[in-house]
Amino acid sequence: MSKSALRKEKWTLSFDPALKSMVVRAAKRRGVYPVTVLENLVREKFNPYGYTDVEDSATYVAALRKQNRKQSDDAFLDEIETWQRSRSS
């Protein structure tokens, strides 16, 4: 393949400076480029149930648990087991 075929497309985005600073802070905290943070956010929005894009599974599960504090741990695990059984058949 030629070099030009492997080159990524370059985009220029303009958005709120406060949002930009949040993205930059998140990138510094994770030790990645800001564009990586944005790409991950977009992937998450287009594929909210995708498990293949999860970088840190412990953080992912903790975030899921924070979303629904009313559900017990046992009910949460039962839901996961039910989902796994439905996917395996």
Q: Where are the domains of the chain?
A: 16-88
pLDDT band at 83 (very low <50, low <70, confident <90, very high): confident
Identify the DSSP state of 31.
Answer: T
For the chain, state the CA radius of gyration: 18
Q: How far apart are CA 55 and CA 75, in angstroms?
A: 25
- Tell me the pLDDT tens digit for each residue of 7-66: 677 777 777 888 889 989 999 999 999 988 888 888 777 775 666 667 777 887 888 778
| pLDDT of amino acid 25 | 92
